[in-house]
Amino acid sequence: MLRLIWDLSLLLAGAALAVMSLLVLLRALSTRRRDRLLAARRRLAPLLLATADPPREGIEGMADSVVTQLTLDLIQLVRGAERIQFIGKAAELGVPDRLRRQLRSFSRRRRMIAVQGLALFDDDLSREALLDTLGDRDDEIRLAAALALGRGDNRPGLDELVARLGLRDHRSSLLTVTLFRHYANEAPDEVQALVLDTDLPLSVRLAAIEAQAVSGDYRLVPAIVELGLRAPDDSEELPRYLHALGRIGHPAARDAVLAGLASNSMPARVAAAGAAGRIALLESADQLAGLLDAPEWWVRFRSAEALLQLGDTGIVRLREAAASGGELAREAAAAMLAERGLAP
Amino acid sequence: MISAPDWLFRAAEIVTLFVIACGLIQILFYIVQLLFAALALHRRPAHASTSALWDRFGDIAPSIAIVAPAYNEEVTIIESVEALLALHYPDFEVIVVNDGSKDATLQTLIDHYSMRPVARYHDRALAHQPIRGLYAAPDRPRLFLVDKQNGGKADAMNAGINVARTPLVCVIDADTLLEPDALMRAVRPFIDDPARTVAVGGTIRIANGCRVEGGRVVEARLPRNFFALMQVVEYLRAFLMARLGLSEMQTLLIISGAFGLFRRNSVIDVGGFSADTVGEDMELVVKLHRRMRDLKRPYRIVYIPEPVSWTEAPETAAILGNQRARWQRGSLETFRTHKDMFLNPRYGRIGVIGFGQVWIVDVIGPIVEVAGYLLVPPLWMLGLISFDYLLAFLAVIFTFGVFISVATLILEEVQLRRLPRARDLVILTAVAVLENFGYRQLNNFWRLRGWWQFLRKKQGWGDMVRKGFQRS
């Protein structure tokens, strides 16, 4: 047994050293190849930048990977008309074809790069390839494909995307908010349907609410208010409903915001104070002034901030609190007034 | 062979077997970590360019406050702050905390950025030494300066966290050199799993020997100094194998103080960094685990393999020895403070695997290994144990050590390829072998010193004299 430990250690150390030697050799060889690729990249860059049309000469024999990677890098560096121009050049150089082939790679990373690259091309073949990729075995690649499709003009139905991404069963990333935002402006009804679909996980519905809030679409306000009023006081979703109402900034959120300010939940009061300020809900001034004495700093801070957003009404309350409030309220009010240069 | 009573032979064998068993358990831990690290690297997200990351996360990335404690940094502070202000991230603030510097750190900042005293309503949830003044720069809205009485690094970080108003805080050392897209990369777990992620650590690499311009590493090179070179392999092992593997197993117990991204509320909930330990970075992570487990909330503490920052490693035996003794002390202090978590099923894998590893590697590891050096060869020479025992002991110390170090290098080369030249690979392979003969033993001696300091309840950090980066 003891001898076996020694033999095994020798075997493992020897094998590791042998593999490392091989890797060093491969590295030496690949360094030459990398140098060649870098040189090719240096030759290609000025050709791509020089003219409006894709270069016809000087790229023969150049590795596909160089052309693909460089064009993608250039596209990501620019915006507007220049980006459209580079996308056109890349398409003529066959970059989307290569990326579509790359989608079949075994390597997850290569597939991800292909999806992110194809997101830049809004042609039918790329769209079909991305639709197929919604069936990829990897969650993140499916989400990346969905994001790419969501950005295009000819996007699939949101319900279909949610189903194919498996969002009904899985945790959701913040990127789902980005995905829903793509739909919030053009297809707000689809996002609204997600919000109201009680079979969906809460995280997905909240992401849909946040996306809708960013778009400023206030048609959902009554529904969110209703959800906010019905949400349990200590629930995770209540602050997010209130936050969304603040983002939308519609006065119809009044009841939910006032109820939120009276909540026992600290995150809910913080979110409600933020919403009251954004909506400029003057009738919340007394409640906000009361919250300046709350034990939690975030509540005091957001309440003071909200009072400042209310204008003169709020500033008067802050001055009163700074002069004669409780110890915590005095400090919060005085510091916030001083911070904004409003100290008497 | 000497003539001795049977019980002496038996006792010698038992002692040797104990040393070998402890070594084998450590090796087994390392091999498991290697396997999990390989799995994590295989599954890691595609490496995207900064502009692609910006495209993807730019509009949803949560705001971050970078808390940079500074103590006597007058020479380098402007360069460090400039580099921080130039980071690529949509919404961040740099909070420099002058921790009662005795030099002109404060005045240098005030003069350079024309900073003015300001009022800012801030939290007082975390305890720290009194704040003497708050400053803002009209031309640099992202920069904020906190001047406070000296209280040490943990104290300064707590002050910075109190002043921060963002959902995430990034704590760094004042001399940490961040990659320009460090925040964009480190924030990813918070985007992918916003509900559960509470803390993220990233790879720290050694900047000695690298070319540094404007607070950025512009050319990665291996150091020429012997101790710094040894630490390159050590850091690779510590970050690429240990932390990545432990993160994949969800048992990561430390996020280095040189770079860590935390959910601010979670840090406040556990009372921030503890000022009464030199292992405040490890202690904070353990507190986060403890709280989340106590509350039975699902959570993730994640390590990302992408290099996010660079640090200057000690180049002399004296300073390196102090650092290692301090690290050892920090581990022991954390273990003592949270000893009720050790093998406690209530804390699940953290109690069993995380604390089990700390016990075997950090608590008894250096003692058993040094005891092995002192006992096993003499016992063999005296004929009290057979040659096979000696071979097994040499295996757990040397040959398995070579295997683990070289296997980590293989992982790095196969998955990440961050070493620029084949020559560097050859050098590091040689270092991975050689470090087991001399350097490892020296390290254990330093760790024993840390044990001794722990027993004597020594406080404080000792001297860390920095040589400074090789700037262009």
Residue B53 has pLDDT above 60, yes or no: yes
Looking at every residue in chain B, the average pLDDT score rounds to 91
User: What's residue B472's pLDDT?
Assistant: 39
Q: Mean per-residue pLDDT for B112-138? A: 95
B387 at interface of A, judged by CB pairs closer than 8 A = no
User: What's residue B81's pLDDT?
Assistant: 93
Give the nearest partner residue to B409 out of A5, A8, A20, using CB atoms.
A20
For every residue of B232-262, which 3-state class applies, written as one string? HHHHHHHHHHHHHHHHHCCCCCCCCCCEEEE
User: What's residue B167's pLDDT?
Assistant: 94
Residue B11 has pLDDT above 80, yes or no: yes
Q: Which range, A119-133, A201-215, B104-118, B404-418, has the best average confidence (pLDDT)?
A: B104-118
Residues in B touching A113 (Cβ below 8 Å)? 46, 48
pTM for the complete prediction?
0.88
B21 at interface of A, judged by CB pairs closer than 8 A = no
Please report which residue ranges of A104-236 form alpha helices under DSSP H: 108-118, 124-133, 139-151, 158-165, 175-186, 188-196, 202-215, 221-230
User: What's residue B75's pLDDT?
Assistant: 87
CA nearest to B123 within chain A: A297
- Spatial neighbors of A119 by CB under 8 A, at least 6 apart, are A130, A144, A147, A148, A151
Q: Mean per-residue pLDDT for A135-146? A: 86
Give the nearest partner residue to B410 out of A23, A110, A174, using CB atoms.
A23
Q: Mean per-residue pLDDT for A256-275? A: 94
B214–chain A nearest CA distance, Å = 23
Minimum mean pLDDT among A152-156, B311-315, B426-430: which range? A152-156
A273–chain B nearest CA distance, Å = 16
Closest listed residue to residue B183, CA positions, set B97, B54, B69: B54
User: What's residue A59's pLDDT?
Assistant: 67
Give A60 or A343, the one with higher predicted confidence. Answer: A343
Residue A54 has pLDDT above 80, yes or no: no
A138: left (phi over 0), alpha (psi -120 to 50) or beta: beta
**pLDDT band at residue B254 using 50, 70 and 90 as cut-offs:** very high
A148–chain B nearest CA distance, Å = 10
* B429 to A28: CB separation less than 8 angstroms, yes or no: no
- Spatial neighbors of B355 by CB under 8 A, at least 6 apart, are B253, B335, B338, B341, B342, B343, B344, B347
Residue B245 has pLDDT above 70, yes or no: yes
Which tens digits make up the pLDDT trace of A214-240? 777 788 888 889 989 999 988 888 998
Residues in B touching A177 (Cβ below 8 Å)? 60
* A174 to B192: CB separation less than 8 angstroms, yes or no: yes
CA nearest to B196 within chain A: A171
Give the nearest partner residue to A16 out of B51, B120, B406, using CB atoms.
B406
Closest listed residue to residue B277, CA positions, set B460, B68, B447: B460
CA nearest to B13 within chain A: A2
B370 at interface of A, judged by CB pairs closer than 8 A = no
Q: Mean per-residue pLDDT for A13-41? A: 89
**pLDDT band at residue B367 using 50, 70 and 90 as cut-offs:** very high
Residues in B touching A108 (Cβ below 8 Å)? 42-43, 46
Query: Which residue matches tokens 């008309």?
Result: A81
A291–chain B nearest CA distance, Å = 15
Residue B225 has pLDDT above 60, yes or no: yes
Residue B47 has pLDDT above 70, yes or no: no
Residue A74 has pLDDT above 90, yes or no: no
Residue A315 has pLDDT above 90, yes or no: yes
Please report the domains of chain B, with CATH numbers, ordered by start residue: 7-40+347-456 (no CATH), 48-339 (3.90.550.10)
User: What's residue A55's pLDDT?
Assistant: 65
B57–chain A nearest CA distance, Å = 8
Query: Which residue matches tokens 């202690």?
Result: B283
Residues in A touching B123 (Cβ below 8 Å)? 297-298, 301
Residue B464 has pLDDT above 80, yes or no: no
* B123 to A28: CB separation less than 8 angstroms, yes or no: no
Give the nearest partner residue to A16 out of B59, B391, B410, using CB atoms.
B410
Q: Mean per-residue pLDDT for A41-64? A: 72
- Spatial neighbors of B340 by CB under 8 A, at least 6 apart, are none
Residue A327 has pLDDT above 70, yes or no: yes
- H or E element at residue A198: none
B101–chain A nearest CA distance, Å = 26
Structure tokens at B164: 């921060």
Residue B183 contacts residue B65 (beta carbons within 8 Å): no
Residue A307 has pLDDT above 90, yes or no: yes
B318 at interface of A, judged by CB pairs closer than 8 A = no
User: What's residue B84's pLDDT?
Assistant: 93
Residue B465 has pLDDT above 60, yes or no: no
User: What's residue A109's pLDDT?
Assistant: 80
* B403 to A175: CB separation less than 8 angstroms, yes or no: no
Residue A271 has pLDDT above 60, yes or no: yes
* A301 to B165: CB separation less than 8 angstroms, yes or no: yes
Give A289 or A181, the one with higher predicted confidence. Answer: A289
Residues in A touching B26 (Cβ below 8 Å)? none
Q: What span, in angstroms and rounded, lies between the C-alpha atoms of A177 and B12?
A: 65
A152–chain B nearest CA distance, Å = 15
B44–chain A nearest CA distance, Å = 8
Which of A3, A4, A5 to mutate to probe the B interface, most B CBs <10 Å?
A: A5
Q: Mean per-residue pLDDT for B316-324? A: 95
Residue B92 has pLDDT above 80, yes or no: yes
Give A166 or B156, the one with higher predicted confidence. Answer: B156
Helix A139-151 crosses helix A124-133 at what angle (to 10 degrees)? 150
Structure tokens at B110: 């005030």
Q: What span, in angstroms and rounded, lies between the C-alpha atoms of B150 and B128?
A: 9
Residue B197 has pLDDT above 60, yes or no: yes
Task: Count Cβ–Cβ pairs < 8 Å, chain A vs chain B.
Answer: 140
Residues in A touching B406 (Cβ below 8 Å)? 13, 16-17, 20
